[in-house]
Copies of this chain bind each other. A is one copy, B any other.
């Protein structure tokens, strides 16, 4: 019998989860739950239902894992604890600073409901976190580096769009090649914010807007751009649509460390992602962890977990025997 998945929230991430489920023959999409009018939401999976979020609890016996595809700012802090009482859940909560608080709430709820809740799943937090952790455990003496990009930052694109005179915008975060090279050479550089990433902006202006003023406002925006070398390109809406409509991302996690009695040997561990679609890759990670949530719950485990707590084998559709024979 397949693992029956529910999707709560049908934006980019929800659609990505739907596509990922179709690539995993041991899973099926049971239903999508939405705050919109269900009749207005058209999904790709013919066998699945679209329901109002208000009906979700009626699906308690028909869904093995509910995947929460809302945003980290306001949706997930409420939804994940709420639904973890009734379903095994997976979310992609990515507000790093608030993870401990989120963990505590989901843990209490999931234990109350006898369910498993896996939070902060994706690539950062997620696969990048895992790689930081493994590399630190293996090389206790060393230095960590995380670079993001080249990729679209939704938050920075939004920040530009809020400037008066801006009609549309897309922002790319780009790792600085020299910094990456220095890390790979084992130089263990101390890098400032400016030395690690540059920011490139493609901006469509409203008619009559002052380009110089907009550029100045972008480049001096605190937190978002002031600490970076930022390039601004003004382009047409057509060009933005044609060349910048994708949501690529990726990045690098590196750890440079030493071993030996005199610490005489250097080692470099590097993990790299190059993603055509940030939401679809995140969804693919989430779906693998949904399989883990299902299995861990079946074994009687309860409470909140993160990628650190999930034994890798739980993610794979293959059995232990198959994994040992084919991948070890």
Contact = CB atoms under 8 A, between A and B. Distances in A.
Contact of A140 (B23, B133, B264, B327): B23
Nearest to A313: B308
A162 interface: no
A176 interface: no
Nearest to A22: B261
A156 to B, nearest CB: 22
A263 to B, nearest CB: 8
B100 A325 contact: yes
Would you call the interface of chain A mostly helix, strand, loop, or mixed? Answer: helix
Contacts of A271: 131, 269-272
Nearest to A141: B23
A16 B259 CA distance: 8
Given A141-B23, A268-B273, A274-B267, A281 B259 contact: yes
Given A260-B280, A268-B273, A275-B267, A99 B139 contact: no
A22 B138 CA distance: 13
A316 interface: yes
A325 B272 contact: no
Contacts of A283: 259
A1 interface: no
A125 interface: yes
A186 to B, nearest CB: 8
Interface string A42-74: 001000000000000000000000000000000
Nearest to A291: B137
A273 B324 CA distance: 22
A19 interface: yes
A48 to B, nearest CB: 13
A190 to B, nearest CB: 19
A183 B19 CA distance: 24
A316 B136 contact: yes
Nearest to A315: B137
Interface in A295-328: 306-313, 315-317, 320-321, 323-325, 327-328
A268 B274 contact: yes
A276 B311 CA distance: 29
Contacts of A96: 328
Interface string A17-38: 0111011100000000000000
Given A259-B276, A270-B271, 18 more contacts: A20-B259, A23-B140, A23-B259, A99-B324, A120-B328, A127-B138, A134-B312, A140-B317, A260-B280, A267-B276, A267-B277, A268-B272, A268-B274, A271-B271, A272-B272, A308-B313, A308-B327, A309-B312
21 contacts: A19-B261, A23-B259, A100-B321, A127-B134, A132-B327, A134-B315, A137-B317, A138-B281, A138-B285, A259-B277, A259-B283, A265-B275, A268-B272, A268-B274, A269-B272, A270-B273, A306-B324, A308-B313, A308-B320, A308-B323, A309-B313
